[in-house]
Amino acid sequence: AQKVTQAQTEISVVEKEDVTLDCVYETGDTTYYLFWYKQPPSGELVFLIRRNSFDEQNEISGRYSWNFQKSTSSFNFTITASQVVDSAVYFCALSEAWAYGNNRLAFGKGNQVVVIP
Amino acid sequence: DAGVTQSPTHLIKTRGQQVTLRCSPKSGHDTVSWYQQALGQGPQFIFQYYEEEERQRGNFPDRFSGHQFPNYSSELNVNALLLGDSALYLCASSLETGANYGYTFGSGTRLTVV
């Protein structure tokens, strides 16, 4: 069974501060994929980053960075120098490997990020 | 290049009625998945369609059914609506050969059951 836990519900930060979102996952598979999605008020889920279970290298992409640690089953996400446009709900998601293409996504409950100008 | 298009954007139905939601996938995508997102929750997987067949199904009752057409568009049908079916319904498309490269989501249909 797959499960994703995002402990914080709402996080408020002042503009230009960094914000880190925590994600803990559970899976019985050795091959899986982890994602972060952003959901603005318009409703659509916007893909941000993807990481597979065999690549623990942490990277930075613009103002986004992530910390993937298999030992603790965590996939944390950081927004550096937050901006008002970053205000949204952020979801961590897990997809187990599947022979037929894109497998279902299991989502956490999300983090509401509010950036105060 | 159009992304995923869903219609209608908002819908109000009465308990016990039936509803049909529609989705046109992103150009070039052949797989459609449907998710239900209750207020304040993460999306929950309903089912996935590929080659006009339901390939995967989440933990949803048979009142939820779907269809995929030869042009890859899809419909989600919900019968005997309950108040608890009120939610944002998201459609996501993907390419079968693009394993786990991620989905493209639509903006959803907001269903309110009264």
B59 vs chain A: nearest CA distance in angstroms?
12
Number of domains in chain B: 1
Judging contacts by C-beta atoms under 8 Å, the chain B residues touching residue A41 are none
Q: pLDDT, tens digit, for every residue of B42-94?
A: 999 999 999 999 999 999 999 999 999 999 999 999 999 999 999 999 999 98
Q: How far apart are the first and last CA of chain B?
A: 37
Q: Between chains, do A43 and B33 touch, taking CB under 8 Å as contact?
A: no
| CA-CA-CA-CA dihedral for A103, A101, B24, B59, to nearest 10 | -30
d(CA B9, CA A75) in angstroms, rounded, equals: 33
More confident residue, B22 or A101: B22
Q: Between chains, do A109 and B45 touch, taking CB under 8 Å as contact?
A: no
Q: Between chains, do A44 and B42 touch, taking CB under 8 Å as contact?
A: no
* CATH code of residue B53: 2.60.40.10
Tell me what percent of the residues of chain B surpass a pLDDT of 90.
89
Q: What is the pLDDT of residue B100?
A: 56
B81 vs chain A: nearest CA distance in angstroms?
22
Judging contacts by C-beta atoms under 8 Å, the chain A residues touching residue B3 are 44
d(CA A94, CA A52) in angstroms, rounded, equals: 10
d(CA B95, CA B108) in angstroms, rounded, equals: 20
d(CA B93, CA B109) in angstroms, rounded, equals: 15
> Which domains are delineated in chain A?
3-116 (2.60.40.10)
pLDDT tens track, chain A, 117 positions: 789 999 878 999 999 999 999 999 999 988 899 999 999 988 889 989 888 888 777 777 789 999 999 999 999 999 999 999 999 999 999 998 777 777 899 999 999 999 999
Q: What is the pLDDT of residue B99?
A: 57
Q: Between chains, do B43 and A107 touch, taking CB under 8 Å as contact?
A: yes
Domain span holding position B37: 5-113
Judging contacts by C-beta atoms under 8 Å, the chain B residues touching residue A102 are 31, 33, 94-96, 98-103
Closest-approach residue (CA) in chain B for A108: B42
Q: pLDDT, tens digit, for every residue of B98-110?
A: 555 678 999 999 9
Judging contacts by C-beta atoms under 8 Å, the chain B residues touching residue A108 are 42
Q: What is the pLDDT of residue A98?
A: 77
The Cα-based distances of A114 to A19, A63, A65, A87, B39 in angstroms read 10, 16, 18, 5, 17
Residues in chain A: 117
Place of tokens 């979102």: A21
